[in-house]
Amino acid sequence: MPTYQPSLQVHYSHTHLIVTHLYRIRHQFRLSNCHPRQSIEIRTEDAHTLLAIKDMYTNPYTPSQVAQAKSRNIGKSFANFLKPLASAVWHKDINRNHPASQDTLPSTGQTQGYFKIMRDSPKTNLCLPSSFITHHSALNAMSLFRLRTQSHGAIPTHTYHFEDNMRNLYGDRLCTRCTTNTLGCEPHTILECTYSKHLASPLINKLRSLLSKAGQPSWDSLPMSQKNSIILGNPYSSLPTKLHKVWTETSLNEILPYISSLETLLYT
């Protein structure tokens, strides 16, 4: 291949391609302040501001990690560059709408119930799947997934909504398996309910030992929401990142059989 060909291709793509040409016109139009509020250009600028990379919009540059990627991987590399930035915005949004200070109170809705479980993963990149999904196991993680995502048919607060069948308000979805008149959420089912809490004892003993070996706070000192989060597959919040893989592998070997036995009991 002649050596001048690549440079000619680059020059052509920047000066003649229709997409590039349209973008340049759009950008000039934007600078004239005539753009409608919802235009792509305005939204692109807003997205840069939201992700705290406004400088990349005003003075376009290529992040170093993207510049090092092979040409065929540039798109993927740029997406990977954006993921932690988007995750940080997401975390901020979650913490604003569902502050940690409310975790000790009964949940007021399924969204709050879900984020209580996720609270124990403050450093997690939310654009990546949770470790309990990516961990390869012969055991099926679907029931754990349903419990974590507030969509398990055997948990009263998870009940589905059908068009012609209005469900109870969240606070009225009480446990029907015990006489405590308590919200029938997954923390109650796992840790409190006299009908099912005994099933978690062997798992809790294992988690108690894991916390101790990792030099973490004792199981008994943790609030209920954090215990529930760990039982549902999250590493303890202050566990060093380098120990997350071992924690996941070890704990899931105990968690998944427990979830299976819990499900069997709840459907009996």
> Under the rule (CB under 5 A), what is the footprint of Zn ion?
175, 177-178, 193
Task: Produce one character per residue of 85-104: b if its CB has 16 or more CB atoms within 10 Å, e if not.
Answer: ebbeeebeebeeebeeeebe
CB of 118 to Zn ion, least distance (A): 24
* Closest approach of Zn ion to the CB of residue 197, in Å: 9
Q: Nearer to Zn ion by C-beta: 53 or 174?
A: 174
Closest approach of Zn ion to the CB of residue 160, in Å: 20
Run of H or E including 145: helix 142-148
Closer residue to Zn ion, CB minimum distance, 175 or 266: 175
Give the number of other Cβ atoms within 10 Å of residue 71's Cβ: 6
Cα gap 157→110, rounded to integer Å: 7
Tell me whether residue 159 or residue 248 sits nearer to Zn ion (CB atom): 159
**How many Å apart are CA 148 and CA 232, to the nearest integer?**
7
Rounded-to-integer distance, Cα 26 and Cα 39, Å: 10
Q: Is the Cβ of residue 98 or residue 227 nearer to Zn ion in the bound state? A: 227
Q: How far is the CB of 105 from Zn ion (least distance, A)?
A: 18
125: which DSSP letter?
-
Task: Closer to Zn ion by CB, 184 or 235: give it.
Answer: 184
Residue 196 CB, shortest distance to Zn ion, in Å, is 7
